[in-house]
Amino acid sequence: MEWLNYHHLFYFYTVAKEGSVSRAAEKLRVSQPSISAQIKTFEETSGQQLFVKKGRGLIMSDFGKLLFADAEKIFYLGSEVIRKMKEGVTQGGSFLSIGVIDSIPKVLVSNVVSNFLKLSPDNRAYCREGSLEYLLSLLVEGKLDLILADTRSPTYVKIKVHSHLLGKTKLAIYGHPNQAPLQKNKIMPFILPINNSGVRNIFEKWAEEQNLNHTVVAEVEDSALLKLLVSKGHGLMCETAAVEFDLWQRYKIKKFETINKELIYYAITMDRKIRSDYVNIFVDLVKKSLTK
């Protein structure tokens, strides 16, 4: 059985976190050549390139980015073990790894994660954002406990996972207060999430049913960026009514009308039945947020 060299991993982690070998050397109080040699040895033994040169500096390779995420969890758990040994803590919190697809409103996610962290001072959350396909690969590798999604796992992805219904929420049309509301006799500008998201698919079906004359002025992968563009008056958006209050408070985005369509949210896990207590707790928090 091969064992991970945590000394090499820690040097890599420090260089990645500090952004350069020189700053890592200063933090660790060792020479730059010593760190460079450790990184080189780590790359040779792992068979993977961890950094690539960019100008005078270094940036993480794609593999390095994945390794960094794992290293963060490893060293966080290590620091928690030391803390609990010193403090004599016998009952700790939960460490939850969450994948969030791009189109899920970050306002909704932040509220749920905040409520989870409030349950215990020792609770910790690790959140990764990306496409459903990317997050599914992390789920299979055991790097995530669950994925929050607004669609089921697609049938073309040959991975055995399970989609658990979290709840339904109505959709609504939002925009800047000065933006003209929906008018069927006028071409309406919309900013939409990229294709294959639950909101995009439902909106397009609804727009076709309503014979809505519209144009897509921007397609955005990140939901926070989408809201910022709408808040600047560049177009209307379609979003869940569950975040209506937060959209106004944070972005000054106004709801124009609720449409006769609902968005369904799912928790995607490897288990047919969720057995983890803390995952079940988090799922219940999401369900409660969708019923508000």
Whether this model's pTM surpasses 0.85: no
**Predicted local confidence at residue 19, as pLDDT:** 83
Secondary structure string (H, E, C) spanning 227-274: HHHHHCCCCEEEEEHHHHHHHHHHHCCEEEEEEEEEEEEEEEECCCCC
Domains delineated in the chain:
6-73 (1.10.10.10), 93-164+268-290 (3.40.190.10), 168-265 (3.40.190.10)
Per-residue pLDDT of the chain (292 residues; tens, 9 = 90+): 467 788 888 999 898 888 888 888 888 888 988 888 988 998 888 888 989 887 777 888 888 888 888 888 888 777 767 766 665 544 456 788 999 988 788 888 888 999 999 988 878 888 988 888 888 888 888 888 999 998 887 766 677 888 899 998 889 999 999 987 777 778 999 999 887 688 888 999 999 998 888 999 999 888 888 999 999 999 999 998 888 888 999 899 999 989 888 889 999 998 888 878 888 889 899 888 887 6
Alpha carbon distances (Å) from 159 to 54, 140, 151, 162: 36, 8, 15, 9
- What pLDDT was estimated at residue 89? 45
**Cα separation values, 145 from 113, 134, 277, Å:** 14, 14, 11
Taking the mean position of all CA atoms in its chain, how far away is CA 199? 17
Sequence-ordered list of residues with C-beta below 8 angstroms from that of 52, at least 6 positions apart, any chain: 58, 59, 60, 61
